[in-house]
Structure 1
Amino acid sequence: MNTTSVKNIRQLSMIDARRFATARLSSATDDLLVIDDISHFDFSEQALQMSFLIFCYCTSGRCHFTVNSQTLCLESGDLFIGVGEQILAKKDVSNDFSAKIILVSHECMQDSIVGLHQLWPFLLYIYKHPVIHLDAAERIWVEGSYTEVLRRVKAYSHRYRRESVTALIRLFYFDMCDVLARRAPVAHTQQTSSYNIFDKFIHLLSDNFRSERNVSWYSDQLCLTPKYLSEVVKNVSGRTAGQWIANFVVMEIKQLLANTSLSVKEIAVRLNFSNQSFLGKYFKNATGFSPSDYRK
């Protein structure tokens, strides 16, 4: 396995995880993996450090574990959502524990949630409450969604296989927003100072990223220094304020390139870039593609 151990922490990449996959979206990029059997993920001796999106639905038993030092318990009918940089360490697992997993790479996640800004306000809740206790109807929905994603990923002869899977993941995000909307208000009054700052930043960013890309503008609105804002956002989410801003802007550019006939110049105007050349450099630095190449 392609892993690197540092201080008893093992780096786990999508390439490492593909050997356990029941099905994967692409043989070349390992951007989405579906895993039926979690038993191969043995991290009893070493913690696992991961940087991809994880949906883990427990079908039986229970597992006590930590994520970034937060102690959690996953039981039958629970859904664990792991976002961003995570260090998972197992504490105790029942003999009958089993779960179904979908792993999504950072790049695939960005592509599939392009334009889904409804999801961002719920990130704070997910960071604080990564294990979601589902009711009976929600369990049926998750199980059905997993089955359909697996079916679509395995439909290798489908001409629009990737597009159909991406559409399913987008639909899952919308449904997940509905699930979280019924829970997020409960935790609103329990936010610590850092989480409260992150929450305000994400909402501010969601409303203003099309015109404002400087960390200093957001810190001014929140009456903080740019350095302190970035430190708080990094501590809460694993990413700096600048990285969050760039993610929002890049996802919006991708959405406009993929779903509209706007020229690169028109997109530059819409997103407050001084010219299309500057937008092109910004986009290529983030994705490795020019806007025209991405649109092809």
Structure 2
Amino acid sequence: MFTVYNIEDFPSDRVVKGQFMMERFEDLQRPPNLKWPHKHNFYEILWLTSGKSTNVIDYHQTIVQPYTLFFISPGQLHLMSRADKVKGYSITFTEEFLLLTANNKERLLALSFLDNSYTAPYLKLNATTRGELEGVLQMLEAEVLLAEKSAVIIGHLLFTLLNKIQRIIDGKKTTTDHSNIIRFKKFRHLIEENYKTEKTLAFYAGHLAFTPHRLNEICKEVSGNTAGEIIRERLLLEAKRLLIHSDLTVGEIANELGYEDISYFSRQFREKESVTPSQYRKSMYQKYQNL
């Protein structure tokens, strides 16, 4: 349905093959006939130093200004509709590459901004925070430019950069228990694997060894929404993607998402969006096809 790109699809010599790339945005080589919108199977951090770009992640539009970090996670539907005189960096990496450095996956899950479904997809830097990150960025770039670059050094510098970003983010908001962030992200990953076939809170709570009440408490603390709302939001997101970017009928979309009753699917969609799926498709199609 949507093209999924790998790091190898973006030619560069500033890479750890298939796992990491750090390229100047203005020098970034894109795949031939790059398709928009598309998905990545890797994380990407955009660091703009000048110009601005308009990015759309799953129908949320953000104008990214200089000295702003913009985060894109695997599986998110991404569209860059404008890029005006943009300079900066594109840092891309896989989860597998990070695990070479942080062999405890829960240390990665604690980096809340890497799966950015419930927080802003960007971070505006001030002079202090910019200075804190620029030193690591410069060391990372210097290592990447070496002919005999070290994946181990790059991995440790990247992990340092990510943890510094997390510390800046944590300083901007009321502290959330990091153990609950980890639990919440495990819940989100479980939804991603099962949302088409499993829609009940009991299924997810059981697999995570929580009571439904406890799972709701965790979700409310981290995201402000109940677990049931998060499950329904994931289904709604996929419905929107298919309505805008596929030729499937509403009935076929309902079937694709595991609904046996098309009228029930349509009612749920209308309750959330205040329009029917067909009306949504008609109103949004032209907007997103012309971006």
TM-score range, shorter chain: 0.5 to 0.7
| Equivalent pair of 1:47/1:87 in contact (CA under 8 Å) | yes
2:80 is the counterpart of 1:90 = yes
What is the SS of the residue equivalent to 2:141? helix
After superposition, the C-alpha distances for 1:34-66 in whole angstroms (9 at most, x for unaligned) are 111346448996212112111110011111110
Comparing 137-146 and 77-86, the one that deviates more: 137-146
2:214 equivalent in structure 1 = 222
1:202 equivalent in structure 2 = 184
> Unmatched 5+ residue regions in structure 2?
188-204, 217-226, 238-291
Map 1:1-296 → 2, pairs under 5 A: 6=1, 9-17=2-10, 19=11, 21-26=12-17, 30-38=18-26, 40-41=29-30, 46-94=36-84, 96-115=85-104, 117=107, 120=110, 122-123=112-113, 126-127=116-117, 128-157=119-148, 161-185=150-174, 199=181, 201-202=183-184, 215-220=207-212, 222=214, 232=231, 235=234
- Distance in 2 (CA, whole Å) between partners of 1:77 and 1:177 is 16
| Equivalent pair of 2:40/2:73 in contact (CA under 8 Å) | no
After superposition, the C-alpha distances for 1:229-281 in whole angstroms (9 at most, x for unaligned) are 69729939x9xxxxxxxxxxxxxxxxxxxxxxxxxxxxxxxxxxxxxxxxxxx
Residue identity opposite 2:120 in structure 1: H
- Distance in 2 (CA, whole Å) between partners of 1:234 and 1:109 is 29
1:244 equivalent in structure 2 = none
What is the SS of the residue equivalent to 1:170? helix
Offset of residue 136 of structure 1? 1.1
Residue identity opposite 1:65 in structure 2: N
Offset of residue 184 of structure 1? 3.1
- Distance in 2 (CA, whole Å) between partners of 1:124 and 1:24 is 20
After superposition, the C-alpha distances for 1:62-101 in whole angstroms (9 at most, x for unaligned) are 111101111111111100122231111122332x122201
- Distance in 2 (CA, whole Å) between partners of 1:204 and 1:47 is 27
- Aligned CA distance change for structure 1 residues 65 and 173 (closer, same or farther; 3 Å): closer
Residue identity opposite 2:158 in structure 1: I
- Aligned CA distance change for structure 1 residues 149 and 200 (closer, same or farther; 3 Å): closer
Aligned-pair identity in percent equals 10
- Distance in 2 (CA, whole Å) between partners of 1:73 and 1:203 is 26
- Distance in 1 (CA, whole Å) between partners of 2:213 and 2:16 is 42
Residue identity opposite 2:145 in structure 1: K
Structure 2 length-normalised TM: 0.58
- Distance in 1 (CA, whole Å) between partners of 2:171 and 2:121 is 15
Structure 1 length-normalised TM: 0.57
